[in-house]
Amino acid sequence: MDAKQDTPEKGVRTPVSTRLQEYKLTFKILVESPSSAVGLLIVLIYSAIAVIDFTYPSLLGVQDAFSMVPDYSNPVPSAPVWPIHPFGTTFPGVDLYQAVMSAIRVDLWYSLLIVLAGAAIGTVVGVLAAYVGGYLDEALMRFTDIFLSVPYLPFAIAVAFVLGRALDDVSIALAIVWWPLYARYAYGQALSVKENAYIEAAKASGVGTLGIVFQHVIPNVLTPIFVQISLDLGTVVQVFAALTFIGFASANPLLPELGTLISNGFQYAVAAPWVVFFPGLAILIFAIGMNLLGDGLRDALDPRGRT
Amino acid sequence: MKLRYYIARRVLLLIPTLLGLTLIVFIISHVGGSARLIGAYINIHSSVPVVVQEQQLMARFHLKDPLVVQYFYWLAAFIQGNWGYTQTSIYSGTVLQAINLFFPNTLVLSVLASVLTGIIGIPLGVWSAVRKDSVLDQATRAISFAGYSIPLYWLGLILIITFSTSNVCSCLNILPISGTVTVNLISGVDWYISGISYPTHVLLIDSLIHGRLDIFGDAVLHLILPVVTLTYGTMASVLRVMRSSMQDTLNQDYVRTARAKGLEEKTVINVHVRRNALIPVCTLLGYTIASLLGGVVLVEAVFDYLGIGYWTTQAMLNGDVGGIMGATVIFGLAFIFANLAVDVTYGFLDPRIRH
């Protein structure tokens, strides 16, 4: 394919320089809007926390990034004291600031995996159904409909329950529950992409069905899918933490995870509000940032919104 | 297509969806292997040895047959109403009986929340779009945006903290923060046994039947915080879609025509815009119901509210297949039929859909 780059293929593919300009323009529109700039900033800060927590946790003041450090001699939550315990401590004597920092990494990582897995499966299924059509369309989309017949949260609870109730099982369950949404979305996008002249041209030049699907249709539905991913990430973080809050992953109560933290603090919530306040706030701020960024991306990538 | 053909077609389309739902539930209940399935039926105090009991149960539930055959046996039993047993800390008995006991409470919560969502969300969305960029519009958008981003159970917890004794102000100590009714008030009442009221299992109705207005008032107070939490969670999306859909409709040619022929702005909004703007909201309702049914699980867990959602979390913690299966069925059915109702309304509102 690369050898033929400057012969007939040239008209089909966008040159790299134009694409780069396109990205620059998108970025410019994005940061010019105050709300999406704030969203981008929040997401960048969270990503930085996650990366630093994984590589140099001591920079954040975190002792152990992979497990909370309990103090069983003093398990009852104590109020925030600057600078030893800026967020206070939570049951069982864990410094809440360190726990929240590491939990941000864990939650971000799992949510990203869930959304990417869901988007990958959903996009392939949706695009194949839309492009090939006929019986495959019916079979794949009815199969998708079956998954959409139960509201996602109870469904995820049921699937995670049969898989085994650990964090990995919760993530697999959420990916299983999440891909149909992407299948539906990619299906709609692919139906319109399919009608383009370049698909006709590829077909005429003898590219096989799978070749067209993976080289021409999927790359052209990726932009809207990407926007959808950024909009979904804020929701998935919430749903993931919701599942751990109601008791999934309770086998390891010392794993830093935002939902588990809220769940650990649940019985102390009234007497020691900070034990549920800070972990929830961490979810809320990330979700706000991700939603602002997602809205901004959608507007920036939509040519009709540009002036 | 006439409306009744459209409805008939839509109802027929339910059959594959319902079969799909049973398939999901079958897989959920059988994935854990046969030991998990028959575990609830084994009586260790019986004179029959456990091994023999296991053999009998394996035969009784056809667990040695191929999976496809098992599915049909299971489906037959399912249709006959034999949904198995549940054993959780809040209830032990048949799954159907548990649903019968817990579903009414969940229904009350969901219906109240969705009615409030409609009453508040739709007019607020309309106002917000009509007075675009006003203070009210900005406030509405902020409220709706926060609603998208806030974890529902966390909002519930924050409300609990706020309204519990003297955390913020003792003047706020007026609302009960968990459960469905005050224990002292209900103790010794013969139509209320271990969290369940009789005969309708809806405390609001039962207390009126038995003429206990004090219990009725107490139950209403207990409903306020869960309903507010759930409403806020579902209202965010309704507000957002109603606002953008109103804006789209306001830019339509027929609205310009209506204004050009000199109609009052009030008439334009009420007669020409609002009804058309409701169509996308109707589509959205399907998703709203999904978020409502998901939210119910979390809200019930946070407020110790004895409904299907609370039962689900208990079943999950107790490793109870029956409860998980029953909850999946009931949430799936509620979702499927709510979507059917939405589609029918949609076809009724917009004749183009029927074709």
Tokens found for residue B86: 């549940």
| pTM of the predicted model over 0.90 | no
Which residues have CB under 8 Å from B29's CB, separation 6+? B37, B74, B84, B321, B324, B325
Residue B238 near residue B125 (C-beta atoms within 8 A): yes
Task: Please report whether residue A106 resides in a domain.
Answer: yes
Total length of chain B: 355
State whether residue B87 is helix, strand or coil. Answer: strand
pLDDT in tens, A92-134: 878 889 889 999 999 999 999 999 999 999 999 999 999 888 8
Residue A16, in any domain of the structure: no
| A200 burial level (CB within 10 Å; 0-12, 13-18, 19+) | exposed
pLDDT at A269: 82
Do residue A151 and residue B153 have CB atoms under 8 angstroms apart?
Answer: no
Instruction: Name which of B17, B32, B297 is nearest A153 (Cβ-Cβ).
Output: B297
Closest by Cα among B35, B297, B328, B327 to A242: B297
The pLDDT of residue A12: 53
Q: What pLDDT is attached to residue A150? A: 83
B335–chain A nearest CA distance, Å: 6
Which pLDDT tens digit goes with each residue over B130-174? 888 888 888 888 888 888 889 989 999 999 888 876 666 667 677
Q: Is A18 a domain residue? A: no
CA B29 to CA B349: how far, in whole Å? 40
Cβ <8 Å between A153 and B293: yes
Closest C-alpha among A237, A193, A243, A234 to residue A214 = A193
Residue with tokens 């932009």: A223
Which residues in chain B touch residue A291, judged by CB atoms under 8 angstroms apart? Answer: 145, 148-149
B328 in A contact zone (CB under 8 Å)? yes
Tokens representing A72? 């069983």
Q: Which two tokens stand for residue B280?
A: 């996308």
Bridge partners for A85 per DSSP: A81
pLDDT tens digits, one per residue of B37-68: 676 677 777 788 878 888 887 777 777 778 88
> In Å, how far are A53, A86, B99, B295, B303 from A242, measured between CA atoms?
23, 25, 23, 10, 14
The rounded distance, in Å, linking the Cα atoms of A275 and A281 is 11
In chain B, what's the furthest Cα-to-Cα distance? 89
**Nearest by CB: A151 against B145, B150, B290:** B290
Q: What is the pLDDT of residue B229?
A: 92
Per the domain annotation, does A22 fall within a domain?
A: no
Contact status of B178 with chain A (Cβ, < 8 Å):
no
CATH number at residue A299: 1.10.3720.10
* Mean pLDDT per 10-residue interval, chain B, length 355 residues: 81 85 84 70 77 80 80 86 83 86 89 88 85 86 87 90 73 75 78 79 84 85 91 86 81 85 84 76 72 86 89 86 86 86 78 67
How confident is the model over A251-269, as pLDDT tens digits? 778 888 899 899 888 888 8
Q: What is the pLDDT of residue B1?
A: 65
d(CA A185, CA A179): 10
- According to the model, what pLDDT value does residue B264 have? 86
* pLDDT of amino acid A1: 42
Residue ranges of chain A whose pLDDT lies below 50: 1-11, 307
- Nearest CA to A152 out of A116, A120, A188, A114 is that of A114
Nearest-Cα residue of chain A relative to residue B154 = A280
Q: How many angstroms separate the most distant Cα atoms in chain A?
A: 75
Report the number of distinct structural domains present in chain A. Answer: 1
- Cα distance from B263 to chain A (closest Cα, Å)? 31
Q: What is the 3-state secondary structure (H, E, C) of chain A?
A: CHHHCCCHHHHCCCCHHHHHHHHHHHHHHHHHCHHHHHHHHHHHHHHHHHHHHHHCHHHHCCCCCCCCCCCCCCCCCCCCECCCECCCEECCCEEHHHHHHHHHHHHHHHHHHHHHHHHHHHHHHHHHHHHHCHHHHHHHHHHHHHHCCCCHHHHHHHHHHHHCCCHHHHHHHHHHHHHHHHHHHHHHHHHHHCCCHHHHHHHHCCCCHHHHHHHHHHHHHHHHHHHHHHHHHHHHHHHHHHHHHCCCCCCCCCCCCHHHHHHHHHHHCCCCCHHHHHHHHHHHHHHHHHHHHHHHHHHHHCHHHCC
Q: Which of A38, A150, A267 to mutate to test the interface with B (most CBs of B within 10 A)?
A: A150
- Residues of chain B neighbouring A153 (CB-CB closer than 8 A): 293-295, 297-298
- Cα-Cα-Cα-Cα dihedral sign, residues A211, A214, A218, A220: negative
Could you tell me the residue range of the domain that residue A107 belongs to? 38-306
In this prediction, residue A52 carries a pLDDT of 92
Residue A26 located in a structural domain: no
User: Is there a domain that residue A167 lies in?
Assistant: yes
B301–A246: do the CB atoms touch at under 8 Å? yes
How does the average pLDDT of chain B come out, rounded? 83
For B142, nearest residue in chain A (alpha carbons): A288
Give a yes or no: residue A32 inside a domain. no
Report if residue A55 sits inside a domain: yes
Residues of A in contact with B22 (CB under 8 A): none
pLDDT score for A13: 59
Q: Is any Cβ of chain A less than 8 angstroms from the Cβ of B340? A: no
For residue A271, give both structure tokens.
């007497």
Q: Does B158 touch chain A (CB under 8 A)?
A: yes
